[in-house]
Amino acid sequence: MTRPFPVLADLPPRPAQPCIDRLAAELRQRDPDLVLVGEDQPSELGRLSRDYHSYSPVLVPRFAGQRAQLAVCARRLDQVQLVAGACARAAVPLTLRGAGTGNYGQCVPLAGGVVLDLSGLNRLRCLEAASGVIEVEAGALMAAVERELAPHGRALRLAPSTLRTASIGGFIAGGSGGIGSPRWGFLRDPGNLLGLEVVTVEPEPRLLRLDAVASAPLNHAYGCNGILTALRLPTSEAVDWQQLVVGFNHWTEAVAAMTGLGSTALLLQALCLLETPIAARSPWPAGCPAAGGEHRLLLLAAPDCLEVLPDWLAARGGRVIWQAPQSGSQGLPLRELTWNHTTLHWRAHSPDWTYLQLLLPQPELPVLSSLSQRWKGDLLWHLEAVRQQGSARLAALPLLRWQGEDALQRLIDQLRESGAQIFNPHVITVEDGGMGVVDADQVTAKAAYDPAGLLNPGKLRGWLER
């Protein structure tokens, strides 16, 4: 298997300990309020150097032992500038961290240095009444932002299934889409990010405000080309989403219903299909019966859909098993059975499984059936509805019994041959987890905002190859 990992010789050298000690002393002296975590707190330093890449048996050994030499927790803009300037002057690598829920080791430092935790920078600065546009600090937890928006009748357009635990800056820098993707597509689609406030990594850091066009190269760049301190985002009207679980006895009917929903006028925020074995072993919200051998379609639907959906689904072989409003629900929300939460729950009982991410070719059924036949019970389908360049499409996060890297590559090859587009979660760089090609604008932005290449070394292949 060809794994395009960065060559370590291309990375900045891991700083010597006296250099880190001098940096820590300078930061302490210039701002006694800064929280620093050093080698004297090894478990906390280890925690701040990790994320959720454990889903990938390829990445786990690759990141083993990689950790920061110092973590700094910022709560104010001037503290971010202080850390950026001090790292630039001392040539110390700097890796940014929101909540550390990324799946590809995005915030695991590959060349030691400093991890800057931005979760303390978490204010919703403003909500523009006329447009619903918000300016929010990067470290804010998305669930907290949603809580602040709710009384104004607004909500985030897009969120990962980790809404409760992930930061908005980490989502823009490291995520792609999720809840809301059937309506709003992916984060990088024009219109989903309106502007950024950015701190550069230079001896005298600049604080820049970028418009939507200038922000695009920093969107999904793993924090390699600027420190996001605030984001300007559109919001949507708040909807009292209704959670529905629908059972299907036949896979072909379930997939047909899922694709058919994409061409209705029903307002859906999430649409996820779990093949029988996954449904059978998933936890379900309180009051929802455990799965009994059926495939399960999970929906977040606007209240007015309820007048149409049950009959529409029944005509296509589906029966509503459970229904409850998302608001006020206690315990596990249905959202947390979708996207990579599906993988999380499956791996809780089967840690020898991993996953892939892809966009299915159309029509979807022949590919799904042929791959299921080839891989027997070692490949299980989990589908998510998305909007891709304006069209309703199906993405998939299939679960795969781990049989080694050659088997993983064989599956990737078979999927590519069938026309699927792979977003490989078993690679390190921005490019290889995406379309596989270098985005020259991302590299240009790095040269402008991080000229010494200190931000998250090793994660932007275009910078290493320039």
Question: What mask of x and - would describe binding to ligand FAD in positions 311 to 340, judged by CB under 6 A?
Answer: ----------------------------xx
Q: Does 344 bind ligand FAD (CB under 6 A)?
A: yes
Identity of the residue, 243 or 340, whose beta carbon is nearer to ligand FAD in the bound complex: 340
d(CA 194, CA 233): 5
Q: Does 180 bind ligand FAD (CB under 6 A)?
A: no
- To the nearest whole angstrom, how small is the minimum distance from the Cβ of residue 216 to ligand FAD? 14
Q: Does 285 bind ligand FAD (CB under 6 A)?
A: no
Please identify, among the stretches 170-178, 256-264, 300-308, 414-422, the one whose residues bind ligand FAD according to the rule CB under 6 A: 170-178
Question: What mask of x and - would describe binding to ligand FAD in positions 214 to 233, judged by CB under 6 A?
Answer: --------xx---xx-----
Q: Does 170 bind ligand FAD (CB under 6 A)?
A: yes
Q: Does 205 bind ligand FAD (CB under 6 A)?
A: no
Q: Does 269 bind ligand FAD (CB under 6 A)?
A: no
- DSSP-assigned states of every residue in 443-464: HHHHHHH-TT--BSTTS-HHHH
- To the nearest whole angstrom, how small is the minimum distance from the Cβ of residue 221 to ligand FAD? 8
Pairing of strands 70-73, 114-117: parallel
CB 246 within 8 A of CB 318: yes
Q: Does 175 bind ligand FAD (CB under 6 A)?
A: yes
Identity of the residue, 177 or 247, whose beta carbon is nearer to ligand FAD in the bound complex: 177
Q: How many CA atoms lie within 13 A of 117 on its CB side?
A: 24
Identity of the residue, 222 or 375, whose beta carbon is nearer to ligand FAD in the bound complex: 222
Identity of the residue, 106 or 192, whose beta carbon is nearer to ligand FAD in the bound complex: 106
Return the residue of 6, 15, 98, 433 that touches ligand FAD, per CB under 6 A. Answer: 98
Q: Does 52 bind ligand FAD (CB under 6 A)?
A: yes
Burial (CB < 10 A; 0-12, 13-18, 19+), residue 324, is middle
399: part of which helix (H) or strand (E)? strand 399-401
Q: Does 184 bind ligand FAD (CB under 6 A)?
A: no
Return the residue of 45, 99, 230, 380 that touches ligand FAD, per CB under 6 A. Answer: 99
Burial (CB < 10 A; 0-12, 13-18, 19+), residue 262, is middle
Q: Give residue 290's Cα distance to chain centre.
A: 28
CB 334 within 8 A of CB 300: yes
- Residues in CB range of 239: below 8 A, 6 or more apart: 155, 267, 269, 302, 303
| Straight-line distance from the first to the last Cα atom of the chain, in angstroms, rounded to the nearest whole number | 24
